[in-house]
Amino acid sequence: MRGRTRVSVVGLGYVGLSTAACLAEKFDVTGIDVDERKVEQIGRGVAPFSERSLTPLLKRQVRNGSLKCTTGYEGVGDSEFVFVTVGTPSDSSGRIDLSHVRAAAHSVGDAISGARRRRIDVLLKSTVIPGTARRLVKRVIEERSGRACGEGFGLCSNPEFLREGSAIEDTMRPSRIVIGRFDTSSGRRALSLYKKFYGEGMMPPVVETTPEMAELIKYASNAFLAMKVSFINTVARICEKIPQGHVDSVARGIGLDNRIGTRFMEAGPGFGGSCFPKDIKALIRFAQDIGVDASLLEATLKVNETQPEHILSTADSMLRGLNGRKVAILGLSFKPDTDDVRESRSMMLIEKLIQRGAKVAVYDPVAMERARSEIGSNADFTQNVEECLEDADLAIVMTSWDEFRGIREGDFVNLMKTPRVIDARRIYDPSRFVATDFAAVGVGPRATARTGNSYSISSGGGAINTGDSCEVPMSDGKFPVTSGQRMITGAVVKDDERYVVTDYSLPDGLTLSTTELKPNKATRGHSHPTPEFYIFFDECNLTLGSEARAVKVGDIVHVGPNEFHKVEAAGRPCRFVSLFWGERASVQAIYADHR
Ligand SMILES: NC(=O)c1ccc[n+]([C@@H]2O[C@H](COP(=O)([O-])OP(=O)(O)OC[C@H]3O[C@@H](n4cnc5c(N)ncnc54)[C@H](O)[C@@H]3O)[C@@H](O)[C@H]2O)c1
């Protein structure tokens, strides 16, 4: 393909490979990476990570020869343009680690020194703190190549804004192009390349500025987005304390003010990925180093660091202790449509759960392999959602993969030991979760009935008194259980011929425990010093004192203090919930509200 512009891309990670594959649509591209395995894999047309639309593009470009990959820098000397897209991780202090940028600049400089071309333009896409292109990249290339910037080579800071998961789309249709030019000709040539690629009429908005401002634009952009996430997560925590609170309605309510905007206002487990956390840390350190107060950025980071802890404490209170409990984690990647688990909040939560003695089962549609190399054998890597949920005490949805949106409440109920769900991404409608102990990030407790309301158990029935056993009404209903001034609420619903109690909002001192008996098993026949209520979801046999009887679905049975009892699952599983106070109080009554 003679006459095509020759371009090199140094560093074939998420940014470099996506950029190279897109540029190869119009240009002859040489991809360069120091990782031999990666280069060999890409050379076969196989993407080393999961990115939507990348694989077909890559296969085509490799097959038709417009994208070639190598570990050597020879291609740089023949290129008109060289993109530098190597990684810029954090060092242990949070400062940016520029060793890859330095090494790449070194190699690019060496390649330019021996080049026949009189001019090669370098575009620095890696995210770097202001001053890096000038003090490091320009200096090193000048030293190694023996050429002057603006004459023998051009240099622009040209930050990248693509998002993993939509990297190809973002590269093909970027929101803007930022060019931080060292000299007019470098800026003009960079712009001409982009015009050639996108076409004059299709050019995205362009911001031309100094290299330092271009570098800062990238950090400021990520910091602002991260701040939005931490802001809405703070609002989410407030919503969780307010009955019927829902952060999404607040996000929409404020976002419709176009000074605020509705995008990037999704509360959840916090931001992760390879960019936001490290970029905010680097910007904080940079601000501190030049004597600028970075407290707004520090708060952004602090909210984010504590968000997995917040989910952990919700899990802890739902399970009343994590030790020995099986927790199913659905989603490992930091967001859907990518297998990137770097700084994923899910990984952080898993680590904390394991530290607290929980047994963790994990499942992700694409990120299992990458996660395995980080968590190793500390978690149970399962094949699918069903296996992950099997016998779990709690499920936590950490990534909003479409596959998880399809899980229905019945699946949680049928597969789990006890159906408890934390929806950290609010992919489920809480009102559909009536048979499950359900919590969601940013969602407050359901409305509670007021003490003193009168409730009936059916259209013709009256209140249930202590010790009554009754049939629960057929339709959805709410019931409060009161003890003095204290009250809990719950829903009793008919679900496939089974009545279940949900939406527990238990005051201090009241315990609710769910028992599931396997067929033909029985409780051991123990007794408690305080009265209890049993609410049955399945038919089974009950012995109370010396009296034995069959219990129907929906029966509510009062068990007096120290009253010997035995529940027996006759031929089929039996589940029941028991409610009891500590030693100080006793349950006064259970009412059912027929709606
Ligand atoms: N990942 C994103 O979503 C994203 C978005 C915008 C900007 N960025 C920024 O772009 C840069 C690259 O990010 P990434 O996620 O693609 O990183 P990455 O870690 O996925 O890829 C970096 C690649 O550079 C290679 N490399 C390292 N040193 C090299 C050298 N001397 N010569 C050649 N190759 C070398 C590595 O082997 C690796 O393949 C970072 O500065 C990042 O902050 C990333």
Digit-coded pLDDT (tens) for 313-322? 999 999 989 9
Six-digit token string for 460: 């013709």
Among 442-456, 466-480, 520-534, the least confident range: 466-480
- Confidence label for 479 from pLDDT (cuts 50, 70 and 90): very low
Average pLDDT estimate for 448-465: 32
Asked whether the beta carbons of 562 and 515 are under 8 A apart, the reply is: no
Instruction: Kindly report the backbone phi and psi dihedral angles of residue 515, in degrees, each rounded to the nearest multiple of 5, phi listed first.
Output: -120, 135
The pLDDT value given to residue 539: 86
Q: Is 275 a catalytic residue?
A: yes
Residue nearest to atom 33 of ligand 1 (CA): 33
pLDDT of 147 higher than 50: yes
Contacts of residue 135, defined as CB under 8 A and 6 or more positions apart, other chains included, come to none
Q: How far is the CA of 77 from the centre of ligand 1 (A)?
A: 21
> What pLDDT does 458 receive?
28
For residue 399, pLDDT over 90 is answered with yes
Q: Whose CA is nearest to atom 21 of ligand 1?
A: 13
pTM equals 0.77
Whether 462 shows a pLDDT value over 60: the answer reads no
> What percentage of the chain's residues is helix, strand, coil (to nearest 5)?
35, 25, 45
Count of residues in the chain: 595
Pocket test for ligand 1, best of 99, 275, 339, 370 (most atoms within 8 A of CB): 275
Kindly give the distance from the C-alpha atom of residue 425 to the centroid of ligand 1, in angstroms, as a whole number: 28
Tell me, what's the pLDDT at 516? 75
What is the CATH number assigned to the segment(s) 6-209?
Answer: 3.40.50.720
Strand partners, 580: 511, 532
CA-49 nearest atom, ligand 1? 20
Helices first, then strands: H and E counts in the chain: 18, 27
**CA distance readout (Å), 374 to 87, 325, 340, 368, 384:** 19, 22, 12, 10, 20
Among 230-234, 373-377, 498-502, name the most confident range. 230-234
User: Could you give the CA distance from residue 228 to residue 265 in angstroms, rounded to a whole number?
Assistant: 6
pLDDT at 188 over 50: yes
- How far apart CA 590 and CA 437 sit, in angstroms, is 19
The helix or strand, by DSSP H or E, that contains position 349, with its residue range, turns out to be helix 345-355
Considering only 88-97, 245-254, 358-367, which range has the smallest mean pLDDT?
88-97
Strand partners, 178: 207
Q: Per-residue pLDDT averaged across 548-572, rounded? A: 81
Nearest to 217 by CA among 171, 273, 264, 157: 157
- pLDDT for 509 beyond 70: no
Tokens of residue 72, six digits: 């050597």
Task: Quote the ligand 1 centre to 583 CA distance (angstroms).
Answer: 61
Beta bridge partners of 593: 478
Q: What is the pLDDT of residues 244-296, one digit of tens each?
A: 899 999 999 999 999 999 999 999 999 999 899 999 999 999 999 999 999 99
Average pLDDT over every residue of 473-480 = 38
Residue-averaged pLDDT of the chain: 85
pLDDT at 514: 67
- Helix, strand or coil for residue 198? helix
Please give the average per-residue pLDDT across 512-519, as a whole number.
Answer: 74
Order across the sheet with 6-10: list the strands.
67-70, 28-32, 6-10, 81-84, 120-124, 153-157, 177-181, 206-209
Do residues 404 and 364 touch, judged by C-beta distance below 8 A?
A: no
Pocket test for ligand 1, best of 9, 15, 91, 141 (most atoms within 8 A of CB): 15
Buried-exposed string 154-186: b where 16+ CB fall within 10 A, e elsewhere: bbbbbbbbbebbbbbebbbebeebbbbbbeeeb
Q: Please, which contacts does 186-195 make with residues 24 or more away whose CB atoms are closer than 8 Å?
A: 186/121, 186/149, 186/150, 186/154, 186/155, 186/156, 187/156, 189/81, 189/121, 189/154, 190/81, 190/121, 190/123, 190/154, 190/156, 190/158, 193/5, 193/7, 193/80, 193/81, 193/121
Specify the residue for token string 């070639």. 68
Name the residue at shortest CA distance from atom 10 of ligand 1: 126
- Nearest-atom number in ligand 1 for the CA of 125 is 10
Interval between CA 10 and ligand 1 midpoint (Å): 9
pLDDT of residue 501: 39
Position 465 confidence tier, pLDDT thresholds 50, 70, 90: very low
CA of 33 to the centre of ligand 1 (A): 10
pLDDT reported for residue 347: 97
Residue 150: CB atoms within 10 A of its CB come to 16
The residues with which 550 forms a beta bridge, in sequence order, are 541
Average pLDDT score over residue span 405-409:
92
The average pLDDT across 378-397 equals 97
Round to whole Å and give the CA distance between 196 and 175.
17
Q: Is the pLDDT of residue 192 over 70?
A: yes
In 182-314 the beta strands, taken as DSSP E runs, fall at 206-209
Residue 357: pLDDT band by 50, 70, 90 thresholds? Answer: very high
Token pair recorded at residue 448: 């509670």
Give the range among 113-117, 257-261, 564-568 with minimum mean pLDDT. 564-568
Greater model confidence, 482 or 595: 482
Which CATH number applies to 308-440: 3.60.70.12, 3.30.2180.10, 3.30.465.10, 3.40.50.720? 3.40.50.720
Q: What is the pLDDT of residue 584?
A: 29
Question: What is residue 510's predicted lDDT score, i.e. its pLDDT?
Answer: 62
Q: How many angstroms separate the alpha carbon of residue 346 from the centre of ligand 1?
A: 22
Q: Please list every protein residue whose CB sits less than 6 Å from any atom of ligand 1.
A: 10-16, 32-35, 38, 85-88, 100, 103-104, 107, 125-127, 160, 162, 164, 274-275
- Point out the ligand 1 atom lying closest to the alpha carbon of residue 17: 16
Q: What is the pLDDT of residue 575?
A: 80
Alpha carbon distance, N-terminus to C-terminus of the chain: 74
For residue 451, the model assigns a pLDDT of 30
* Residue nearest ligand 1's atom 1 by CA: 14
Superfamily of structural domain 219-300: N-(1-d-carboxylethyl)-l-norvaline Dehydrogenase; domain 2 (1.10.1040.10)
**In CATH, what class is 464-594?**
mainly beta
Q: Give the number of the atom of ligand 1 that is nearest the alpha carbon of residue 101.
A: 31
Q: Do domains 6-209 and 219-300 have the same CATH topology?
A: no
Which residue, judged by its Cα, is nearest atom 38 of ligand 1? 13
Look at 513 and 236; give whichever has higher pLDDT: 236
Ligand 1 atom at minimal distance to the Cα of residue 14: 16
State the average pLDDT over residues 327-355: 96
User: Is the pLDDT score of 214 beyond 70?
Assistant: yes
291 burial type by CB count under 10 A (0-12 exposed, 13-18 middle, 19+ buried):
exposed
Using CA positions, which residue lies closest to atom 18 of ligand 1? 13
**Residue 98 pLDDT more than 90?**
yes
Proportion of the chain above pLDDT 70, given as a percent = 84
Residue whose tokens read 């000048």: 142
pLDDT of residue 334 exceeding 50, the answer is: yes
CA 188 – ligand 1 centroid, Å: 26
Write down the catalytic residue from 22, 149, 239, 275. 275
2 has pLDDT over 90: no
Domain residue extents for the chain: 6-209, 219-300, 308-440, 464-594
Q: How confident is the model at residue 581 (pLDDT cuts 50, 70, 90)?
A: low
Distance in angstroms (rounded) separating the CA atoms of residues 113 and 106: 11
